[in-house]
Structure 1
Amino acid sequence: MPSVASATPAYRSSPGPLHAILLGGSVSLFLGAMLSDIAYYQTHQIQWSNFASWLNAAGMVFCGVALAFALVNLLRARQKGGQPLTYFVVLLAAFVLGLFTAFQHAKDAWAIMPAALVMSIIVLILILAAAWIGLSARTGGAE
């Protein structure tokens, strides 16, 4: 029989609906940025680079607010290590790399390629991992 401690989530209070919306928004915005970078790489139309830059900036806003929620949840968690810490660190990594991606997109025209595309792919992978970890904490890790 499982103990009560293993059945309860590590968070003192699970991430709320706004936190989940911010994570979902971050995923979709960073996905759009990556797809725009792919389109720019294939078509050489500068507007795709502009789209990617704006989508990345919006993803950074959503990710930054979600990061603030994650920090509060980490500080309130009974268990500071494990899932709450992993979630915070992965989300922080996505935010920091997203910031470097924004700096990369600030370059002129084709100078952003291929680094912007590679960085967008890595940011998307990180934000997907963060969303997976964060939303599985919402359900207590039980599938």
Structure 2
Amino acid sequence: MARPGFRPHVAIGGVPVHAMLVPFPIVCFTGALLTDITYLSSGGQVQWANFSQWFLAFGEMMGALAALMGLIDLFRTPRADRPSIGYIHFAGSAITLTLGLFNNFVHARDGWTGVAGTGIILSVLTVLSLIVTGFLGHRLAYVHQRGRVVADERTL
């Protein structure tokens, strides 16, 4: 018999708030990578480094808010119904936010030293981490949600 499954508790109109907030850090961290690449290919136009800093700062704020909503959903679910993938998704999201925070600190240095080298590497690692946690979040939302198994796990 299948477990009842994971169901979000913080929702507006039936839509989980966590799912509403997650696109913001995804776009911001991806935008930071793209503006880093543009900065390096433009010969050091400092405004692109500034865009990266703003993307990283806003991505951190919205990511922290999304993480809070996700934690509420995860821990308000009875322990027996919590899928283990939720903990893995949480850990991956914490790693992503930590990488983004360190990336923001690195980008706070002057333009070239903030982006070239460590900054671009952290931007790439942050986006790669987003891809992994996004996949895990997808599995959590579409396989383990709404009190039933939504799809056969072998098909996803």
TM-score (norm 1): 0.86
Identify the match of residue 86 of structure 2 among 72, 84, 87. 84
Q: Is the 8 A contact 1:23 1:131 kept in 2?
A: no
Unaligned stretches of 5+ residues in structure 2: 145-150
| Range with greater deviation from structure 2 (76-85 or 125-134) | 76-85
User: Which residue is 2:40 aligned to?
Assistant: 41
Instruction: Measure how far apart 1:81 and its partner are.
Output: 6.4
Aligned residue type for 1:22: L
Give TM-score, length-normalised by structure 2.
0.79
Aligned pair 1:13/2:5, yes or no? no
Output the CA distance in 1 between the equivalents of 2:63 and 2:126: 11
Do the aligned partners of 1:90 and 1:130 also contact (CA within 8 Å) in 2?
Answer: yes
Map of 2:96 onto structure 1: 94
| Rounded Cα–Cα distance in structure 2 between residues aligned with 1:103 and 1:128 | 22
What is the aligned-residue RMSD (CA, Å)?
1.9
Separation in 2, partners of 1:33, 1:75: 31
Higher helix share: 1
Match of 1:124 among 107, 122, 127: 127
Deviations 1:62-82 (A, max 9, x none): 110111122222322324562
Instruction: Mark the CA change 1:75 to 1:99 in structure 2 (over 3 Å): closer, same or farther.
Output: same
Q: Deviations over 1:29-49 (max 9, x none)?
A: 111110000011111111100
Any gaps of 5 or more consecutive residues in structure 1?
none
The whole-number CA distance in structure 2 between the counterparts of 1:130 and 1:64 is: 14
Aligned 8 A contact 2:25 2:59 in 1: yes
CA displacement at 1:131 relative to structure 2? 2.1
Q: Which runs of 4+ in 1 moved over 6 A?
A: none
2:124 aligned partner, one-letter code:
I
Sequence identity percentage: 28
**Residue correspondences, number:** 138
For 2:35, give the aligned amino acid. Answer: S
The Cα of 1:14 is off from its aligned counterpart by: 6.9
- Partner in structure 2 of residue 71 of structure 1: 71
